[in-house]
Amino acid sequence: MNLPLLALAIAAFGIGTTEFVIMGLLPEVAGDLGVSIPSAGMLVSAYALGVAVGGPILAVATARLPRKTTLAWLMALFVLGNVGCALAPDYGWLMVARVLTSFCHAAFFGIGAVVATSVVEPHKRAQAMSLMFAGLTLANVLGVPLGTLLGQQAGWRSTFWVVAVIGVLAMLAVLRWVPALRQNLSGSVLGEFRVLKVKQVWLALGTSALASAALFTVFTYITPILRDVTGVAPQNVSGVLLLCGVGLTIGNLVGGRLADWKLMPSLMGIFAAVATVLVVFSFTSAWLWPAVITLMLWGMASFATGAPLQVRVVSQAGTAPGLASTLNIGAFNLGNAAGAWLGGAAIDIGWSLQALPLVAAGVAVLALGVTAYSAWLERRGPQLRGAVLGCETG
């Protein structure tokens, strides 16, 4: 890992930790601020909406600024938001601070992905993205469990103080290690939105949302599945999730290499693997070790899609890679929310927890179909242009 990628990975670790650690601290936050658990849960939803809405706005607003400067200012905003969380006197102020923090999320990952591809050779761009996103996967494996434990032992505010310190370190690393890169500043800021006219960009965004929905249809309810279906004792669930986290980390790195090899065939193969493993998990979830092994394989396959999908949307974005990349992060987060809703809806209509992987497998098959259609359009384009040129010359 070169130093610019290390700086981006440190920032990704901090951002990933602050996003997900709130889930483990909901009882502490609710008790301290005198609100209900569902009200505290709205802090999660508000963050996701902030990512989806605020990220593109910041990406467009900073499109003419040097990317290194933008990344540093985004980390300053991240630090300010987490300090605000730690100092929030009541629920309303905590909500404002969480939304403020969320604004930097999509913009940082979107612009950071473009920077990551600019500091390596062209044939290693997807690997560079996967190394940056490794910080996000490590946040789930280490940052969230440790942050939850710290918040439970020393008070939930202590977790946000520590995350703010990580943000300061990330900002200093960006300023020290990320190079000042040249960028294409031709065109107007509003011209950035021309990327929304590109059909392949919309297909890539839709695929990202479906991939994330397939993941969170099961991941949101993985603890109840492990407890009620697999029979894992409550105190052992975190150990199983840690093994799953190892699979996430490996899959993220493998996905980057596969994307640098053959992007679209790799994506189709990964989605086929996700769907297959989910179908298998619907049966193996009833036994401990088969369930653990399947979970690791599922984590590997699911997170192998991240870097390839980010590379795909950037490659189709033309002169607006920052906005397209940021929109893709928003698509991932919308998929998170959609997956959680879909899993809950399946349970509400009477489906068992053991059937949720089958629902998720169906979503993965949809993602495979969209990817195949996108690849077909890409192959068909040169053929059509060739046919038109042939007719004109004839």
Tens-digit pLDDT profile for residues 75-108 = 999 999 999 999 999 999 999 999 999 988 888 9
Euclidean distance between the first and final Cα of the chain, in Å? 54
Closest CA to 138 of 242, 260, 270, 284: 242
Tens-digit pLDDT profile for residues 37-83 = 778 878 877 887 888 888 888 877 887 788 899 999 999 999 999 99
pLDDT at 183: 61
The 3-class SS string of the chain reads: CCHHHHHHHHHHHHHHHHHHHHHHCHHHHHHHHCCCHHHHHHHHHHHHHHHHHHHHHHHHHCCCCCHHHHHHHHHHHHHHHHHHHHHCCCHHHHHHHHHHHHHHHHHHHHHHHHHHHHCCCHHHHHHHHHHHHHHHHHHHHHHHHHHHHHHHHHCHHHHHHHHHHHHHHHHHHHHHHCCCCCCCCCCCCHHHHHHHHCHHHHHHHHHHHHHHHHHHHHHCCHHHHHHHHHCCCHHHHHHHHHHHHHHHHHHHHHHHHHHHHCHHHHHHHHHHHHHHHHHHHHHHCCCHHHHHHHHHHHHHHHHCCHHHHHHHHHHCCCCCHHHHHHHHHHHHHHHHHHHHHHHHHHHHCCCCHHHHHHHHHHHHHHHHHHHHHHHHHHHHHHHHHHHHHHHHHC
Domains of the chain: 1-180 (1.20.1250.20), 190-394 (1.20.1250.20)
- pLDDT beyond 60 at 374: yes
Mean pLDDT within 287-309: 91
Closest CA to 263 of 329, 198, 307: 307
Tens-digit pLDDT profile for residues 10-44 = 999 999 999 888 877 888 888 899 988 778 878 87
Mean pLDDT within 294-304: 92
Tens-digit pLDDT profile for residues 215-236 = 988 887 887 888 889 998 877 8
